[in-house]
Chain A
Amino acid sequence: MRFDVLVDVRLRGGIADPAGATIERALPALGYDGVSGVNVGKTVRFTMEAADKAEAAARAGDLCSAFLTNPVIEDAEVTVRPAAD
């Protein structure tokens, strides 16, 4: 079966996020008050062949910790669902 995988990479708690902080500081000047907790991460999307959803999730999790994230500074949330085709 084919699965669509979405990896949402974000900085771990306590790790400074200079991009998020810069965006947050700029918002009041643009007239957007009351916005806080801005965090900038990245998403990685791909399609994967696997026997079932559990196998796809396990393999995507491995790929995530071995390559797509740096565990020193990043966490990721992995979402797997049957391919949309």
Chain B
Amino acid sequence: MATTVGVVVFPGTNCEMDAMAAVEGLGGSARLLWHGDDELTGVDAVIVPGGFAHGDYLRPGAIARFSPMMRAVARFAAGGGPVVGICNGFQVLTEAGLLPGALQKNRGLKFLCQPTMLRVETIDSALTGRASMGAELSVPINHFEGNYTCDDEMLARLRDEDRIVLRYVDNPNGSVDDIAAVCNEGRNVVGLMPHPERACDELLGSADGAVLMSSLLAAA
């Protein structure tokens, strides 16, 4: 039976269809999870997709983390279920405390929408299990607040525990230590600013994101 991925939708989410199309193109099935519901049953993995959840008011993800669905996502993650937050979804997962650190405004205050090269830094995560260590992948970014930051103590922990999942080859936004993706201690929750779901077909300019999306399906 196909792996079923639940894609969380908040008011203001706008990448849910891209995520579903990527999952279905790789042989999985996908269904939407409304933020106001507090149960997620029958899904094998969860994507918190990009967009502007609750208008990004106050801070990106600050209001979204109080949605009932996020309690269900936290329970799912605590049980070992694979969860990936993409772009705004990464911001939501940091605000919800499922991932460390925070996403700040980009260095230079520019909204960035461009292809970026990412390097795979660990293959022990829900997002990179099928990738090759050190592989360089072309995946687009599309964000204003993607400048990853955390304190020195957390940065040391992320390095020591091999929890930096992807780094930018040429840091576009000022992220500390070129970090593009991190995972939790259990390695089943991953957040990244780039959009692998938009790089799953050569028609879109790159299919390099497919290995990341198929890693999530395999982790389920």
Chain A residues within CB distance 8 Å of chain B: 14-16, 18-19, 22, 67-68, 70, 72-73
Contact = CB atoms under 8 A, between A and B. Distances in A.
Nearest to A23: B109
Given A18-B109, A72-B102, 7 more contacts: A15-B104, A15-B149, A18-B147, A19-B109, A68-B58, A72-B101, A73-B102
A50 to B, nearest CB: 22
B62 interface: yes
Interface string B9-48: 0000000000000000000000000000000000000000
Interface in B129-148: 147
Given A22-B109, A67-B62, A16 B174 contact: yes
Contact of A16 (B58, B62, B100, B107): B107
B87 to A, nearest CB: 17
Closest 9 CB pairs of A and B: A72-B102, A73-B102, A18-B105, A18-B109, A22-B109, A18-B107, A70-B102, A70-B59, A73-B149
